[in-house]
């Protein structure tokens, strides 16, 4: 398929050929669902922790004798039914991460790229950078490419340190490398800007495997 390439001034300068297998394929919603859930699970810290009755710092002595007081019998103050006692079935530190098949993850990324093309939320732009590393310079550049300040994703051809520095203070902007895409960011991104070289890299990276 053919796609327009825009300059940093927002004007069409030429056409580029995109791989139909990557940018114009049937969209598999199931693979997207599993890929996004996998990323969210892998980000969970899992540090929540509670103390059981064996870990609470209380005396082991019996609060009163077994019979004759009129109270319900009690063994110690660590009991979960007492204030300050242990917790029953409370959370403990755990690892929520898991893996999904590589083929499913690749299918999800190709489906998401095709979805953005279908919904007219993707734009191919000429390679650019921000030599100064200043946020205001990047904002001036993006004003020609993005009409509204909605969640925007820029897919880079390489790890551009100065460009990332310029965009780290922009809350609605995310950067992704062509070989390390994020299903969550692509799904929720309302504007996806793909650098021209990155588009060619995506053709090769996801096209023949």
> Do 153 and 189 meet the contact criterion of CB atoms below 8 Å apart?
yes
Tens of pLDDT, residue by residue over 82-135, are 988 999 999 999 999 999 999 999 999 999 999 999 999 999 999 999 999 999
Place of tokens 């004003």: 143
CB atoms within 10 A of CB 101: 10
List of residues 6+ apart from 10 with CB closer than 8 A: 144, 145
Q: What is residue 1's predicted lDDT score, i.e. its pLDDT?
A: 87
Distance (Å, whole) CA 146 – CA 150? 8
> Do 181 and 155 meet the contact criterion of CB atoms below 8 Å apart?
yes
Portion of the chain with pLDDT greater than 90, in percent = 80
Domains and CATH numbers, the chain: 2-26+109-207 (3.40.1370.10), 47-95 (no CATH)
Q: Is the pLDDT of residue 208 over 70?
A: no
Assigned token pair, 40: 């969210």
CB atoms within 10 A of CB 110: 24
Q: What is residue 10's predicted lDDT score, i.e. its pLDDT?
A: 87
Average pLDDT over residues 164-193: 94
Q: Is the pLDDT of residue 26 over 60?
A: yes
Q: What is residue 209's predicted lDDT score, i.e. its pLDDT?
A: 54
Q: Is the pLDDT of residue 181 over 90?
A: yes
Give the SS3 label for residue 155.
Answer: strand
Q: What is residue 148's predicted lDDT score, i.e. its pLDDT?
A: 84
> The whole model's pTM is what?
0.85
Tens of pLDDT, residue by residue over 38-78, are 999 999 999 999 999 999 998 888 999 999 999 999 999 99
Report the chain's mean pLDDT, rounded to a whole number: 93
């Amino acid at each position: 398929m053919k796609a327009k390439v825009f300059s940093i001034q927002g004007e069409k300068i030429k056409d580029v050929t995109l791989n139909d297998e990557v940018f114009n394929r049937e969209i598999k919603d199931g693979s997207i669902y599993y890929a996004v859930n996998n990323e969210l699970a892998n980000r969970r810290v899992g540090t929540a922790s509670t103390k059981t009755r064996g870990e609470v710092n209380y005396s082991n002595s019996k609060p009163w004798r077994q019979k004759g007081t009129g109270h319900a019998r009690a063994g110690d103050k660590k009991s979960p039914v007492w204030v300050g006692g242990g917790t029953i079935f409370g959370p403990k530190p755990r690892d929520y991460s898991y893996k999904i098949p590589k083929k499913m993850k690749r299918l999800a990324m190709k489906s998401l790229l095709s979805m953005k093309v279908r919904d007219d939320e993707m734009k191919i732009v000429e390679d650019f950078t921000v030599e100064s590393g200043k946020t205001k310079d990047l904002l001036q550049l993006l004003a020609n490419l993005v009409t509204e300040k909605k969640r925007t994703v820029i897919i880079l051809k390489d790890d551009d340190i100065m460009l990332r520095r310029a965009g780290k203070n922009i809350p609605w902007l995310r950067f992704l490398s062509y070989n390390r895409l994020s299903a969550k960011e692509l799904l929720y991104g309302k504007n996806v800007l793909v650098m021209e070289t990155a588009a060619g890299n995506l053709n090769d990276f996801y096209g023949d495997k």
